[in-house]
């Protein structure tokens, strides 16, 4: 997927890092809607090479940084690139089924009330899992026709993908352990009524 297609191909996504719209006032929703429309217009101009649009674009994104992710979610772009490679070009059903499975996995792994770092690492766990499944499928589909060096190449690539996946899982587990330890320390300090004045 070329950079020119990033905004056109990306979808507006709703994830745990997006603001909860139920807590936003009507005025806030209207302001956000206007910002989205203005941003959409400016992005179109910037894609055509109109440099005058960039200062206004930067201003909107500095005021509404959450909108950048809605228009160009880098994690989803990587995911979509893998899905495109894994499926037939016109098989929209397979593409949508995989996206739904990945979204469900991401939410399940991240859990409720996940921190931004936990959400980021959950995305990494999901994309490394997808990559591992893709390499596994490639190896299985070509197994009968591979020479020994080719089979070894596939195995090495699959092993590396597996290590990256385990590394992502380990990083998420470590962050959760650290965050849990921090929360427990805060509770203990509160129980002992110790005030830490900086």
Q: Where does a domain end: 72, 99, 125? A: 72
Which residues have C-beta within 8 Å of that of residue 158, sequence separation ≥ 6?
A: 132, 135, 136, 139
Say what the pTM is.
Answer: 0.65
Expressed as residue numbers, the domain containing 34 is 1-72
Torsion of CA 176, 182, 188, 194, to 10 degrees: -170
Residues 41 and 92 in one domain: no
Can you tell me whether residue 193 is helix, strand or coil?
Answer: coil
Residues 88 and 178 in one domain: yes
Task: State how far the Cα of 175 lies from the Cα of 115, in Å rounded to an integer.
Answer: 10
Residues 191 and 104 in one domain: yes
Residues 158 and 66 in one domain: no
pLDDT in tens, the chain (198 residues): 444 444 444 333 333 344 444 444 555 556 667 778 888 888 888 888 989 889 988 888 888 777 777 777 777 888 999 999 999 989 999 999 999 999 999 999 999 889 989 999 999 999 999 999 999 999 999 999 999 999 999 999 999 999 999 999 999 999 999 988 766 555 455 555 554 444
């Amino acid at each position: 997927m070329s950079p020119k297609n990033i905004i056109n191909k990306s979808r507006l996504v709703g994830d745990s890092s997006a603001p909860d719209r139920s807590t936003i006032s009507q005025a806030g929703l209207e302001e956000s809607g206007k910002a989205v429309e203005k941003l959409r217009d400016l992005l179109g101009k910037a894609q055509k090479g109109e440099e005058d649009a960039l200062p206004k674009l930067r201003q909107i994104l500095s005021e509404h940084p959450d909108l950048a992710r809605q228009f160009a979610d880098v994690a989803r772009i990587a995911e979509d690139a893998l899905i495109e490679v894994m499926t037939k070009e016109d098989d929209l059903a397979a593409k949508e089924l995989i996206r739904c499975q990945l979204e469900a996995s991401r939410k399940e792994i991240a859990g409720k009330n996940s921190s931004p770092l936990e959400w980021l690492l959950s995305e990494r766990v999901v994309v490394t899992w997808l990559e591992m499944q893709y390499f596994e499928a490639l190896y299985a589909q070509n197994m009968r026709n591979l020479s020994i060096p080719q089979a070894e190449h596939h195995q090495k690539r699959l092993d590396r993908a597996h290590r990256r996946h385990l590394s992502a899982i380990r990083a998420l587990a470590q962050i959760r352990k650290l965050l849990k330890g921090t929360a427990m320390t805060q509770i203990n300090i509160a129980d002992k009524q110790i005030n830490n004045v900086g």
